[in-house]
Structure 1
Amino acid sequence: MFIGRERELASLKEFYEKDGIGMTVIYGRRRIGKSTLITEFAKDKKTIFYTATKVGKNRNLELFSKQVVDLLMPGVENISFHTTEAVFDFIDKNIGDEKLVLVIDELPYWAERDEALLSILQKYIDTVWNDKNLKVILCGSALSFMQQKVLSEKSPLFGRRDSQIKLEAFNYLDAAKFVPEYSNEDKAICYGITGGVAKYLSMIDPRKSIDENIIRLFFRTDGYLYDETRNLLTQEFSDIAVVNNIVEQIASGENTLNTIAGKIGEKEQTILYSLDKLINVGLVEKKKCITEEKNKKKTQYVLKDYMFKFWYEFIPKATSVIEMGQGEIYYEKAVKPVLHSFMGSVFEEMCRYYTLMKGITGEYGCFITSVGTWWGVENIADKNGNIRAQSADIDVVALSDIDKRAVIGECKFKNEKIDKGIYETLIRRGSLITAKYKISKYIFFSLSGYTDWFETLSDENVLLLTLDSLYE
Structure 2
Amino acid sequence: MILMLSSSINFVENSMIELDPGFASSITGIVKIQPISFAQMVEWFPNKSVEECIIIRSILGGVPKYLSMWDKSKGLRENIINLFLTRQAPLIEEPEAVLRKELRELSSYNTILISLGRGLIKLNDLFLATGYSRAKISVYIKNLIEMDVVEKLFSANVKNVENTMKGLYRISDSLLSFYYAFVYPNITRIELGKGSEVYDEMIGPALNSYLRPFFADVCREYLDLMSQYGKLDHEYSHWQTWYGKKGTIDIVGTDSKNNMICGICSFGDEISTIESFAELKALTAQAGIKKCSFCLFSKNGFDSSIEELANAGEVTVASLKDF
Q: TM-score with structure 1 length normalisation?
A: 0.62
Partner of 1:408: 262
Q: Does 1:172 align with 2:38?
A: yes
- How many Å apart are 1:180 and its aligned residue? 1.8
Q: 2:296 and 2:235 mapped to 1: Cα distance?
A: 20
2:176 counterpart (308, 329, 332): 308
CA-CA distance at 1:149 after TM superposition = 5.1
Gaps of 5+ in 2: none
Give the direction of change, closer, same or farther, for the CA distance of 1:156–1:351 in structure 2 (3 Å limit).
Answer: farther
Q: 2:136 corresponds to which letter in structure 1?
A: T
Distance in 1 (CA, whole Å) between partners of 2:215 and 2:284 is 20
Which one-letter code corresponds to 1:413 in the other structure? F
Distance apart, 1:272 and its partner CA? 1.4
1-structure distance, mates of 2:11, 2:237: 30
Is the 1:397–1:406 Cα contact (8 Å) retained in structure 2?
Answer: yes
User: What amino acid maps onto 1:451 in structure 2?
Assistant: D
Rounded to whole Å, the distance in 2 between the matches of 1:212 and 1:143 is 33
Q: CA deviation at 1:323?
A: 2.1
1:325 aligns with 2:203: no
Q: How many residues align?
A: 318
Whole-angstrom distance in 2 between the partners of 1:181 and 1:138: 36
What's the counterpart of residue 220 of structure 2?
A: 352
8 Å CA contact 1:352, 1:371 repeated in 2: yes
User: Does structure 1 residue 425 correspond to structure 2 residue 279?
Assistant: yes
Q: CA 1:428 to 1:334, structure 2 compared with 1: closer, same or farther past 3 Å?
A: closer
Could you say what secondary structure the match of 1:137 adopts? coil
Superposition pairs for residues 50-449 of structure 1, below 5 Å? 135-148=1-14, 156-158=22-24, 160-291=26-157, 298-377=166-245, 391-400=246-255, 402-433=256-287, 438-439=291-292, 441-449=293-301
Amino acid of the residue matched to residue 97 of structure 2? N
- Structure 1: unaligned runs, 5 residues or longer: 1-134, 378-390
For the 8 Å contact 1:143–1:280, the answer to whether it is kept is yes
Q: Which of the two has higher C-alpha Rg? A: 1
Contact 1:169 1:197 in 2 (8 A): yes
Q: Does the Cα contact within 8 Å between 2:114 and 2:185 map onto a contact in 1?
A: no
Alpha-carbon distance between aligned partners in 2 of 1:399 and 1:313, rounded to the nearest angstrom: 32
Say if 2:319 is the partner of 1:453. no
The answer to whether the 8 Å contact 1:404/1:438 transfers is: no
Q: In the TM superposition, what whole-angstrom CA distance separates every residue of 1:278-329 from its partner, at most 9, and x where no partner exists?
A: 111111111110216xx89723110101222222222234333322323124
Aligned partner of residue 291 in structure 1, secondary structure: coil
Does 1 or 2 have the higher relative contact order (CA < 8 Å, sep 6+)?
2
The structural deviation recorded for 1:151 is 7.9
Residue aligning to 1:62: none
Quote how far apart the aligned CAs of 1:140 are. 2.0
Q: CA deviation digits over 1:158-196, x for unaligned, max 9?
A: 464443321122222222333221122111111111022
Q: Equivalent residue of 2:264, what SS? A: strand
Cα distance between partner residues in 2 of 1:206 and 1:453: 38
More helix by share: 2
Residues 59-81 of structure 1: per-residue CA shift (max 9 Å, x gap): xxxxxxxxxxxxxxxxxxxxxxx
Measure the CA separation in 2 of the matches of 1:352 and 1:211: 27
